[in-house]
Amino acid sequence: MKTVSDIMSRDIKVCTPHDSVTEAAKIMRDIECGSVPVCEGKKVVGIVTDRDIVLTVVAEGKDSNQVHCHDCMTTNVITCTADTDIHECARLMSENQIRRIPVVENGEIVGICAMADLARENIFVNEAGEALSQISEHSQYDH
């Protein structure tokens, strides 16, 4: 049985609630993903997505250097633990229509499990593919 700990990324980038959304967008660009956890210390307090930035900042004509992550982040963040079975992780992604799940231990972020991490596991190609098709239809983090 493989767990999230076996496949998660440990080299994670996060924002703080008071970082500008420009900083969040730069992280997304640099690590080629569409969301970044927002943390106070190592505690996950939210997640900001590229869609959050587009709808809350760009579409409203706001200055992305003046808007903070806490102004547009989702606070109801789905997380898992390092010992979560990867089948369960895929189910969580599918059920909640998300592509990345922060991994927490004792309330602190220790990694990220992404859809791509699951897709790399040949046994989960169909499971991850089904989850991805459902996620692409509508994301839980969409506002």
**Structure confidence at residue 104 (pLDDT):** 97
Closest listed residue to residue 47, CA positions, set 5, 22, 17, 26: 17
**Structure confidence at residue 143 (pLDDT):** 44
Cα atoms found within 13 Å of the Cα of residue 137, Cβ hemisphere only: 10
Whole-structure pTM value: 0.82
Q: Are β-strands 35-40 and 100-105 bridged in parallel, bridged antiparallel, or unpaired?
A: unpaired
Distance CA 84, CA 2 (A): 9
CATH label, 4-137, candidates 3.20.20.150, 3.40.630.30, 3.30.70.3420, 3.10.580.10: 3.10.580.10
Around Cβ 32, how many Cβ atoms within 10 Å? 7
φ and ψ of 81, to 5 deg: -110, 165
**Structure confidence at residue 120 (pLDDT):** 78
Q: Where along the chain do its domains lie?
A: 4-137
Mean pLDDT by 10 residues, the chain (143 residues): 92 96 96 94 96 94 95 95 93 89 96 88 50 51 50
